[in-house]
Amino acid sequence: MDVPGWPLIFRGSAAVGAGLVTARRLQGPAFVRVLPDTWAARHLVPLGHADRCRAVFRWSGGRGVIAGWAAAELSGAPCAPAGAPVDVVLPVRARAPAGVRVRRDRLHPGEIGWCDGVRVTTPLRTAFDLARGRDETAAVVAVDALAFRHGFAPDLLLNFAVRYRGLRGVAGVPGVLGLADRRAMSPPETRLRLLLVRAGLPDLRSSTRCSTTPGAARCGSISPIPRRASASSTRAPTTPAPTGSCATPRG
């Protein structure tokens, strides 16, 4: 009997039931309990982000879909606030352990993919979910990071706003998209742009690019773009392919 994740990150009861390990050895020095009935090989602890997601996926019994900030990070768009929990969408109610947030969102099959061995929401669905957050700055940071990494136009998220018009936070999505810029190369760049826009300065929409090469530090010229103009009308840069073994449809 195969046990998903064995012997790295796995369900303890499944491993014991399959005869792969005894309950006594499971409690020994080779393994560490990281979530209820979920164990990791000691050399993996403390878990990195991808392994945390794997652990939550194992804890869910393979039924969950990693979402939110965790899905963004896993897809190669580093933008999560420090200490953000791992969001997981489950079809049933479940008590979330520490560091995990359980959601029961409705997901279309085309909004689910695989990345690093776990089911995740696709980049577009992840961006839509994060665009609905209460913190507008964090929402714009997330949309910028995902759009840059995966090369999509932020305005595509309006399709989700129509499909899921009754969800919490959907009313704020158009405002977030009005501030988004898929050319932004990092969260600090997005935050600086928003700071300038909110101070009443022209929206430069990431037209400033700086080189930090020793002996060649310089910034390129800037040309203001009308404030809150749609970023989808500008050409996106060539973006690197996501890291890891991800197979996520665009939707």
pLDDT tens-digit readout, 193-244: 999 999 998 776 654 444 434 444 443 333 343 444 444 443 433 444 444 4
Model confidence pLDDT, tens digit, residues 4-21: 999 999 999 999 999 999
Scanning the structure block, which residue is given the tokens 């994060």?
A: 130
CB-facing half-sphere around the CA of 137: CA atoms within 13 A:
13
Work out whether the CA dihedral 157, 163, 165, 167 comes out positive or negative. negative
Q: What is the pLDDT of residue 17?
A: 97
For residues 172-204, b (16+ Cβ closer than 10 Å) or e, as one string? Answer: bbeebbbbbbbbbbebebbbebbeebeeeeebb
Closest among 230, 225, 233 to 201, alpha carbons compared = 225
Amino acid at site 246: C
Q: What are phi and psi of 63, to 5 degrees?
A: -90, -15
- What's the pTM value of the predicted model, to 2 decimals? 0.82
Q: What is the pLDDT of residue 153?
A: 97
For residues 224-246, b (16+ Cβ closer than 10 Å) or e, as one string? Answer: ebeeeeebbebebeebeebeeeb
Task: Read off the pLDDT band of 247 (50, 70, 90).
Answer: low
Overall average pLDDT of the 183-191 stretch: 96
Task: Read off the pLDDT band of 42 (50, 70, 90).
Answer: very high
In this structure, the dihedral spanned by the alpha carbons of residues 116, 117, 122 and 127, taken in order and rounded to 10 degrees, is -50
Q: What is the pLDDT of residue 204?
A: 63
Closest among 39, 106, 32 to 67, alpha carbons compared = 106
Task: Read off the pLDDT band of 33 (50, 70, 90).
Answer: very high
Q: What is the pLDDT of residue 217?
A: 40
Q: List the structure tokens of 149.
A: 């990494």
Q: Is the pLDDT of residue 249 over 50?
A: yes
Q: What is the pLDDT of residue 150?
A: 98
CB-facing half-sphere around the CA of 235: CA atoms within 13 A:
2
Q: What is the pLDDT of residue 1?
A: 73
CB 75 within 8 A of CB 149: yes
Overall average pLDDT of the 144-149 stretch: 98
Model confidence pLDDT, tens digit, residues 103-141: 999 999 999 999 988 999 999 999 999 999 999 999 999
Overall average pLDDT of the 76-103 stretch: 95
